[in-house]
């Protein structure tokens, strides 16, 4: 189900489970410290698909461009997602 | 119509919904596919002849004149767009579909990233939007991409169940003092339909149907650096 701005903020475990299911990663590996580049996403296509997972809570959400993806973690992604949800800002382009 | 009949019949609530009209999708999360304008030619020519792209893209080290560049830019092209970042309107690159063969049901797809340091997901999204555009609005059976040997590693993620290598010309391309293999990769319509719903953002399809409904399954794309000169 797709929820828009104002939807309940997902817990980290909820996000991790969705990412694990979509990207085929063991959920036990997806801790808040798991690096997006490598542990979570094997290649750039996985990173693209990670955004589609996050769309479930905020359609059109994109990680900040300033985020250094070499060091960013799944905990960072969760943090920015819930921050945007709390802001209630529509992230959909256009 | 009799004088007493109503101009519009009441809607039958049990009738199926009318089919939604097809739509064209050129705006994504990160980028917009913008048609190339004549005013873009100098910029595109400079990018294509840069040290980063000069050998990897279609000219392979040659420097066509501005006049002939404008011609070659459109030679055999079916559809071609600049990839423009939504955030700051930077031109990230170019995607192109060319050498379409409607009898065979095939078309080549190529892409060029203008900034080698660009690590955004814009080019991936551009390729996905172009792929959807091609399969939705032309009856292609498959899309081809060409990859010179030294570019093939870039396709590792896509070769994992999405693209298949259908041919390889041994030592076909001469560049950098040696010959390199040229691979022909293919993305089949069936593969795209089985995967598109996991690659296209759900909100992208909210207002219309851009392609036949996919079957159950997963996702993906096509592409290729290095289209023929």
- pLDDT confidence of residue B215: 31
Sheet containing B91-101, strands listed edge to edge, beginning at the edge strand earlier in sequence: B31-35, B77-85, B91-101, B106-113, B142-148, B178-188, B164-175
Which whole number is the average pLDDT over A21-30? 93
Contact A47 B28 (CB under 8 A): no
Residue A72 β-bridge partners: none
Segment A5-31 shows an average pLDDT of 88
**List of chain B residues whose C-beta atoms are within 8 Å of the C-beta of residue A59:** 201-203
pTM, two decimal places = 0.81
All residues of chain B having their beta carbon less than 8 Å from the beta carbon of residue A60 are 29, 201, 203
Confidence of residue A82 (pLDDT cuts 50, 70, 90): very high
What are the φ/ψ torsions at residue A36 (nearest 5 degrees)?
Answer: -60, -45
- Please report the pLDDT score of residue B160 as a whole number: 67
Interface touch B125/A48, C-beta < 8 Å? yes
Q: What is the pLDDT of residue B55?
A: 78
The Cβ of residue B24 has, within 10 Å, a number of other Cβ atoms equal to 13
- Contact residues, chain B, for A43 at CB < 8 Å: 156-157
**What is the DSSP code string of B177-199?**
TEEEEEEEEEEEHHHHHHHGGGT
Q: What is the pLDDT of residue A1?
A: 44
- Looking at residue B229, its pLDDT comes to 34
Identity of the residue in A55, A65, A92 whose CB atom sits nearest the CB atom of B120: A65
A70 lies within 8 A of chain B by CB? no
ipTM rounded to 2 decimals: 0.79
Does A64 contact chain B (CB < 8 Å)?
no
Chain B interface mutation, best of A19, A23, A52, A69, highest count of B Cβ atoms under 10 Å: A52
Mean pLDDT, residues A55-71 taken together: 86
Output the average pLDDT for chain A.
85
Rounded CA-CA distance B73/B66 in Å is 10
**Distance, in angstroms, between A31 CA and closest chain B CA?**
24
Which residues of chain B fall below pLDDT 50?
Answer: 1, 206-229
Task: Tally DSSP H helices, then E strands, for chain A.
Answer: 3, 0
Residue B137 tokens read as 């609005």
Residue A62 is nearest to which of B30, B157, B203, comparing CB atoms? B30
Q: Which of B138-168 are b and which e, b meaning 16 or more Cβ less than 10 Å from the residue's Cβ?
A: eebebbbbbbbbbbbebbebbbeebbeeeee
Give residue B12's pLDDT: 77
Return the structure tokens found at B119: 């690590």
Whether A90 shows a pLDDT value over 70: the answer reads no
Cβ contact A46–B221 (<8 Å)? no
């Amino acid at each position: 189900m797709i929820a828009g701005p104002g939807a309940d903020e997902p817990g980290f475990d909820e996000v991790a489970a969705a990412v694990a299911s979509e990207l085929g990663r063991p959920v036990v590996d997806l801790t808040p410290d798991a690096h997006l580049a490598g542990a979570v996403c094997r290649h750039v296509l996985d990173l693209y698909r990670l955004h589609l997972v996050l769309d479930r809570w905020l359609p059109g959400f994109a990680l900040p461009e300033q985020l250094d993806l070499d060091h960013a973690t799944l905990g960072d992604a969760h943090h920015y997602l819930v921050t945007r949800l709390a802001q209630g800002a529509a992230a959909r382009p256009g | 119509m009799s004088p007493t009949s109503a101009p519009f019949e009441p809607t039958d609530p049990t009738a199926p919904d009318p089919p939604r009209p097809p739509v064209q999708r050129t705006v994504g999360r990160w980028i917009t596919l913008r048609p190339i304008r004549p005013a873009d030619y100098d910029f595109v020519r400079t990018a294509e002849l840069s040290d980063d792209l000069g050998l990897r893209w279609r000219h392979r080290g040659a420097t066509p004149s501005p006049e002939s560049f404008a011609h070659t830019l459109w030679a055999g092209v079916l559809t071609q767009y600049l990839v423009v970042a939504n955030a700051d309107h930077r031109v990230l690159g170019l995607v192109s579909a060319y050498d379409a063969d409607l009898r065979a049901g095939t078309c080549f797809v190529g892409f060029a990233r203008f900034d080698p340091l660009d690590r955004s997901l814009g080019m991936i999204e551009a390729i996905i939007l172009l792929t959807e555009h091609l399969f939705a609005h032309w009856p292609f059976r498959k899309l081809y991409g060409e990859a010179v040997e030294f570019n093939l590693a870039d396709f590792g993620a896509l070769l994992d169940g999405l693209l298949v290598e259908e041919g390889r010309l041994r030592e076909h391309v001469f560049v950098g003092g040696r010959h390199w293999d040229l691979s022909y990769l293919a993305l089949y319509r069936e593969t795209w339909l089985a995967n598109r719903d996991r690659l296209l953002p759900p909100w992208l399809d909210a207002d219309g149907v851009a392609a036949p409904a996919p079957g159950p399954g997963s996702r993906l794309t096509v592409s290729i650096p290095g289209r023929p000169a």
